[in-house]
Amino acid sequence: MSQGYLRVQSFTSRLAAPVPGVAVTVTTADGEARRFFTDEEGRAPDLAIDAPDEGYSLDEGNTTVQPYATLDLVAEKEGWQPLTIRGVQIFACQTTLADLELVPADQGEARSLPEVVEVPAHKLFAGEGGSGPTPLTACPGRVLEAPIIPENITVHLGRPAASAQNVTVSFRHYIANVASSEVYPTWPEQALRANIHAQSSLALNRIFTEWYPSKGYSFNITNSTSYDQYFVYKRTIFEVMERLTDDIFNTYVRRTGTIEPYYTEYCDGRSVTCPGMKQWGTVTLAQQGRTALEILRYYYGSNIEIVRTNNIQSIPSSYPGSPLRVGSSGTNVAILQRQLNRIAKDYPFFGTTDIDGVYGETTAEIVRRFQRQFNLTADGVVGRATWYKISYVCCTVCTIHVQQRHPAHTIVPCERPSLYCNTVPVRSMSGQAQKNLRPCTRSEVFLL
């Protein structure tokens, strides 16, 4: 038996200020309870907790021994809403951070009901971790002008169409949370870095392509591993994940010659397989002495590079900010024309226009036909509603076009990042079907 550590700090909401004198009760799985208080800075000494030996979390074949200890934590202080976190995970030789964000109790109540956070079993041990499959297609031009590192990200706590809560957290915290939920903190540092790069790049791809806002959703990403990657709101995170995230949060993976963050699909490689990175495989490669970049290139190809940017800002929108109308010109008009011409392949009565970046009467008439078809005000002016409706329809017709051209059990990985020419994720295909992979033709890649 080894030991891990629990570090408790108490704060007001969003870590705005420390909350001193908070009574914290920690109860381990065997029923042992320890009680202590945070000091004037909201801190408490690290608490040593017995934990399974580190080897269990480094052994891919271990499916029976839980490689971490669990405990329940209760934080209480008069005038503040009690907070309970159940299932806090403690790994050998690692420090778990419990940053307790406390909320003032309602003045009219003697005592508020406690907030309860449930930390589920770690995905690597429970299974069903990894990311969602690479997107089927992306409509050319329906992206932001340049990749950004967002200050905050809004996460939908469920599948896209599910009635679930949206939460907004800092991007750094989001990545540290995903890393803590997806991989073990005991892994070699280069393996952890490779995984964090992949997790960050996947999220930045969703933001760059405006994947969910363009479909009418009010969030940037989900916590469903069927679509995106795992995130557990208000869970405790591991100190090593926070440290590495702080170092590389403003980096992303891309293919040479492109600007967009690459959709770095990944899976555990044990209970689930996929065409992307194998989480357990990163451990083996790191133990062989490979760097994070070498690990990423092993799985995603030799033309992968890691880019660092200081373009940190609030998440912008691809919508130009003001309506496009007759007389407008520039890149946004060219994007609009390209999308309308693609849609016209399925709606030929819309007609087509030259992609010259000039909003003339021909473009305006096509816009009016589109607006009438989709129950928008047919004024020939592309405001926010029309802009995103065109983006959504373009993406939809591209996907339908692909589905009709390829058998249901053949996946076609494209040369361009984030595009597939089929509808079936690799992980759901038979072994024989996975052998039928072939490259896209150029026309299939660009869907034009």
pLDDT of 385 = 75
Confirm whether 87 is domain-assigned.
yes
User: What is the C-alpha separation between 231 and 132, in angstroms, rounded?
Assistant: 13
CA 275 to chain centre: 18
Can you give the CATH number for the domain in which 41 is found?
A: 2.60.40.1120
Q: What is the number of domains present in the chain?
A: 2
Q: How far apart are the first and last CA of the chain?
A: 60
Answer with the one of 310, 336, 361 that is the final residue of a domain.
Answer: 310
| Summary mean pLDDT of the chain | 84
| pLDDT of res. 148 | 86
Which pLDDT band holds residue 397 (cuts at 50, 70, 90)? Answer: low
| pLDDT class of 113 with cuts at 50, 70, 90 | low
Residues 155 and 248 in one domain: yes
Examine residue 341 and state whether it is found in any structural domain, yes or no.
Answer: no
- Assess whether 197 and 106 both reside in one domain: no
Whether 341 contacts 355, CB under 8 Å: yes
Please check whether residue 353 lies inside any domain of the structure. Answer: no
pLDDT (tens digit per residue) in 245-299: 988 888 999 999 988 999 999 999 988 889 999 999 999 999 999 999 999 999 9
170 and 262 together in one domain = yes
Of the chain, the percentage scoring pLDDT greater than 70 comes to: 83
Q: Are 34 and 105 members of one domain?
A: yes
Same domain membership, residue 265 and residue 182: yes
276 domain residue, yes or no: yes
End of a domain among 119, 139, 170?
A: 119
Examine the domain organization and report whether 85 and 174 are in the same domain: no
Rounded to whole angstroms, the Cα distance separating 27 from 73 reads: 7
Radius of gyration in angstroms for the set of CA atoms belonging to the chain, rounded to a whole number: 24
Q: Are residues 79 and 185 in the same domain?
A: no
Quick check: is 303 in a domain? yes
Quote the pLDDT of residue 137: 55
Examine the fold and report which residue of 79, 101, 119 is the final residue of a domain before the chain moves on. Answer: 119
For the residues 380-390, what does the mean pLDDT come to?
86
In a domain, 284, yes or no: yes
pLDDT value at residue 142: 47
**The tokens of 5 are what?**
């550590």
* Whether residues 157 and 79 fall in one domain: no
Residues 292 and 155 in one domain: yes
3-state secondary structure of 188: coil
pTM of the model: 0.76
What is the domain range of residue 6?
2-119
* Size of the chain, expressed as the number of residues it contains: 448
Highest mean pLDDT among 72-86, 204-218, 301-315: 72-86
Domain contains 383 = no
311-345 pLDDT, tens digit each: 877 766 677 889 999 999 998 999 899 989 988 88
Q: Give the tokens for residue 56.
A: 């269990």
Joined tokens for residue 225 = 């591993």
The region that residue 38 occupies, defined by phi over 0 for left and psi between -120 and 50 for alpha, beta otherwise, is beta
- Percentage above 90 pLDDT, the chain: 61
How much is the average pLDDT of 7-11?
Answer: 93
pLDDT tens digits, 120-146:
999 999 887 789 888 765 454 445 667
Whole-number pLDDT of residue 69:
98
Residue 66 domain-assigned (yes or no) = yes
- DSSP result, 123-145: HHHHS--SPPPPPS---TT-S-S
Residue 307 has pLDDT above 80, yes or no: yes
Q: Are 51 and 173 contained in the same domain?
A: no
181 with 280, same domain? yes
Same domain assignment for residues 42 and 90: yes
